Amino acid sequence: MTSVPLPIPSRTQYVLEGIKHRILTGQLTSGQALVETELAAQYGVSKTPVREALKTLAGTGLVVMSQYKGATVRMVDADMARAVYDVRLLLEPEALRRSVRRAASLEAARTALRDADDAADTARRSLANRAFHRALYAPCGNPLLARMLDEVRDQAALVSAVAWAADPSWEREAAEHREILRLAQEGDADGAAGALHAHIASFVRRAFPGAPGKGEQA
């Protein structure tokens, strides 16, 4: 049976998801060059879908495009972490507070916690971590607020990938996740929001000492 080649938009999406997954799980490291010809060969496509995928990833902040250096994985430093995590500290606890007050279902968060506990490798655990946080803010009742957090989600995951590569702290963070979810399930909106704020702030403070901690401003 002869396989039918994917149309260009589908090929672009295939390449985009593949590169994105490799970046967010640390297989492609901060500052690493992304060579179109090499990626095209790896994914079995022409350079066109690779080029389009890299442009899209540049728009989300995961890739940097330079006229002289070409495309590279975005470098992560304290300044970048400060900007991304300041947005999370301002918005994510409030979104969770609203989710709890709406008595929104948190089943997806429970599932993500189980997936993280059962994960066989760092990549799957990282993806489960992202799913957990999104499950807390997505049902907040304000689509614009959720969309704003979605826009920094990939960059936050990139910060986490770099930090975890240097200092894996899964068990501590898993315990914090369980406490956040416990408070949320009990209907303690302010307690859950406070625990989430402390969780986000302590992570970035440990990983990037120059970034803001609880109560600090970027």
What single string gives the DSSP state of each residue in 66-82?
Answer: ETTTEEEEPP--HHHHH
Question: At the top level of CATH, which class does the domain 78-207 belong to?
Answer: mainly alpha
The C-alpha atoms of residue 213 and residue 218 are separated, in whole angstroms, by: 9
Give the per-residue pLDDT at 210. Answer: 57
Give the per-residue pLDDT at 171. Answer: 75
What distance lies between CA 146 and its chain's CA centroid?
Answer: 14
What phi and psi values does residue 124 have, to the nearest 5 degrees?
Answer: -70, -35
Please tell me the pTM assigned to this model: 0.80
Dihedral angle, C-alpha 173, 88, 94, 179, nearest 10 °: 0
Rg of the chain's alpha carbons, rounded to an integer? Answer: 18
Banded pLDDT at 74 (limits 50, 70, 90): very high
User: Per-residue pLDDT for 1 more than 50?
Assistant: no
Q: Which CATH number applies to 8-73: 3.40.50.2300, 3.40.640.10, 1.10.10.10, 3.40.50.620?
A: 1.10.10.10
The C-alpha atoms of residue 115 and residue 112 are separated, in whole angstroms, by: 5
Dihedral over Cα of 99, 114, 57, 90: its sign: positive
Residue intervals in the chain for CATH 1.20.120.530: 78-207
Residue intervals in the chain for CATH 1.10.10.10: 8-73
Say what angle helices 143-166 and 8-24 make with each other, to 10 degrees.
Answer: 50
Residue 84 in contact with residue 155, Cβ under 8 Å? yes
95-142 tens-digit pLDDT: 999 999 999 999 999 999 999 888 877 777 878 888 999 999 999 999
